[in-house]
Amino acid sequence: MLTIRQIPVLTDNYIYLIHDQLSEKTAVVDPALVDPVLSELSNSGWSLDYILNTHHHADHVGGNLGLKSETGCTIVGSRSDAKRIPGIDIELGEGDIFELGESVAKVLAVSGHTIGHIAYWFGVDDALFCGDTLFALGCGRLFEGSAEQMWKSLGKLKTLPGATRVYCAHEYTQANGRFALTVDPKNILLAERMERVNQLRQDGAPTVPSTLADEFLTNPFLRADTPELRATSELPDASPQTVFAEIRRRKDRF
């Protein structure tokens, strides 16, 4: 069983410290910075064993080398993007298994935001660390990949259980929700969710993690295969991939 600590850094990033209770092995997911991680480790009394990177962007790997120097930890990342993951020791890809002590993660290849982006799904713990592929009420911008790649990647995440908690890497939910309402305006569940999101942000509380169950019902990027999103995208007969691409284009201009 995992204990998960959420560390807010920079403007809107989340770093996750995850600790297997049985083995006392600890990993950090996408460390943008060194000092906040070392501080949380000290507060928790944990020793860092692994860094789990989802992709190569600086706000996800910026702390890699510093943490490795301080702790001697092992860095884990994408096999297909190993040249851009600083200090990588273990290379993983689609379908591989990563063991954090007794806690086991399945690796999913989820290119789109970047080529070589991966996610870690700890099924027993209902925990998905998906970097910048899926956000609460949103998805990552297509910096390197195509709409076809991202839609395929999101399709993999849609097969996971609804109880899965989505530990995405940014606090973008409120802005994502404002956009979502423009393309799914009749979605009552979305409107109700946004009321909760707005209250949480007003209280200074995080909106992450969400659950996949909530995302299935309210995230427009996961709903590109629904009649409602086809209609508001003015693409009533288009494929889900085409509808997704149109929604993503609108979000980029929002």
Helices 173-183 and 240-253: angle between axes, nearest 10 degrees:
120
CB 30 within 8 A of CB 53: yes
What are the C-alpha distances in Å from 191 to residues 85, 104, 117, 168?
39, 36, 31, 21
Q: Which amino acid is at 101?
A: G
Catalytic residue (choose from 57, 81, 184, 214) = 57
Burial class (CB in 10 A: 0-12, 13-18, 19+), 198: middle
Catalytic residue (choose from 55, 56, 81, 184) = 55
Q: Is 55 a catalytic residue?
A: yes
Q: Is 81 a catalytic residue?
A: no
SS3 category, 230? helix
CB 110 within 8 A of CB 118: yes
Q: Is 132 a catalytic residue?
A: yes
Catalytic residue (choose from 19, 56, 117, 170) = 170
**73 DSSP 8-state letter:** P
Catalytic residue (choose from 19, 56, 60, 117) = 60
Phi, psi (deg, nearest 5) at residue 211: -120, 155
Q: How many other β-carbons are positioned within 10 Å of the β-carbon of residue 38?
A: 18
Helix/strand/coil (H/E/C) assignment for every residue in 148-172: HHHHHHHHHHHCCCCCCEEEECECC
d(CA 98, CA 120): 8
Q: Is 59 a catalytic residue?
A: yes
Count H helices, E strands: the chain? 9, 14
Catalytic residue (choose from 19, 30, 56, 113) = 113
Catalytic residue (choose from 20, 59, 81, 125) = 59
Q: Which residues are catalytic?
A: 55, 57, 59-60, 113, 132, 170
